[in-house]
Amino acid sequence: MKWEIQSPAIEKASLVVMDVLATNNWERPVYFVMNTSPENYIGLENYLHLEGLAYRVMPVKIKTSEGETGEVNTEALYDHLMNKFIWGNIFKP
């Protein structure tokens, strides 16, 4: 996995993400919340796979169109939204 950081400076939060990716050895999945600012993806847009309400970082590079973030893993997305996500308070006005 190889990517370029586009910003001229690196914040502490980005250093933490880079450290987790460098030392994790893909033993545990790493996720980004999908409503976070795109600057927090630190150039990983081509390695993000949408699985429900979060992007999973995978060491598989994908092609994205300009302005898009990652790709959709439709099987995982469906399973998470239909079987794992708890839909609450639907009957409360």
For the chain, 93 residues long, the average pLDDT of each consecutive 10-residue run is 79 89 90 80 84 85 72 83 81 79
CB 50 within 8 A of CB 73: yes
Q: What is the pLDDT at residue 13?
A: 85
Distance CA 21, CA 86 (A): 29
Distance CA 46, CA 69 (A): 7
Number of H helices, E strands in the chain: 2, 4
Q: What is the pLDDT at residue 23?
A: 92
